[in-house]
Amino acid sequence: MLLGVNIDHVATLRQVRGTTYPDPLEAARVSAEAGADSITVHLREDKRHIQQFDVENIANQLSIPLNLEIAVTDEMITFAEQLKPDYCCFVPEKRQELTTEGGLNVAADIENIKQACKRLASAGIQVSLFIDADKEQIEAARMTGAPCIEIHTGHYADAETNDEIEYEKNKIIESVAFAKQQGLRVHAGHGLTLDNVTDIAAIPGIVELNIGHSIVARAVMIGLAEAVREMREQITSSND
Among 88, 91, 117, 141, binds ligand PXP (CB under 6 A): 91
Query: Which listed range, 165-173, 175-183, 196-204, 208-216, lies at the site for ligand PXP (CB under 6 A)?
Result: 208-216
Query: Which listed range, 71-79, 116-124, 212-220, 221-229, lies at the site for ligand PXP (CB under 6 A)?
Result: 212-220
Query: Active-site residue 69, yes or no?
Result: yes
**Residues touching ligand PXP: how many (CB under 6 A)?**
19
Interface with ligand PXP, residue 8, by CB under 6 A = yes
Interacting residues with ligand PXP between 141 and 160 (CB under 6 A): 150
Query: Which listed range, 56-64, 72-80, 162-170, 205-213, lies at the site for ligand PXP (CB under 6 A)?
Result: 205-213
CA R_g for the chain: 17
- String of contacts with ligand PXP for each residue 26-65, x by CB under 6 A: ----------------x-----------------------
Interface with ligand PXP, residue 189, by CB under 6 A = yes
Query: Active-site residue 49, yes or no?
Result: no
Minimum CB separation of residue 198 from ligand PXP in Å reads 15
Query: Active-site residue 155, yes or no?
Result: no
Question: 3-class secondary structure for the chain?
Answer: CEEEEECHHHHHHHHCCCCCCCCHHHHHHHHHHHCCCEEEEECCCCCCCCCHHHHHHHHHHCCCCEEEEECCCHHHHHHHHHHCCCEEEECCCCCCCCCCCCCCCHHHCHHHHHHHHHHHHHCCCEEEEEECCCHHHHHHHHHHCCCEEEEECHHHHHCCCHHHHHHHHHHHHHHHHHHHHCCCEEEEECCCCCCCHHHHHCCCCEEEEEECHHHHHHHHHHCHHHHHHHHHHHHHHHCC
Q: Active site residue: 9, 49, 69, 93, which one?
A: 69
Among 7, 10, 72, 89, binds ligand PXP (CB under 6 A): 89
The residues annotated with a catalytic role in the active site are 42, 69, 190
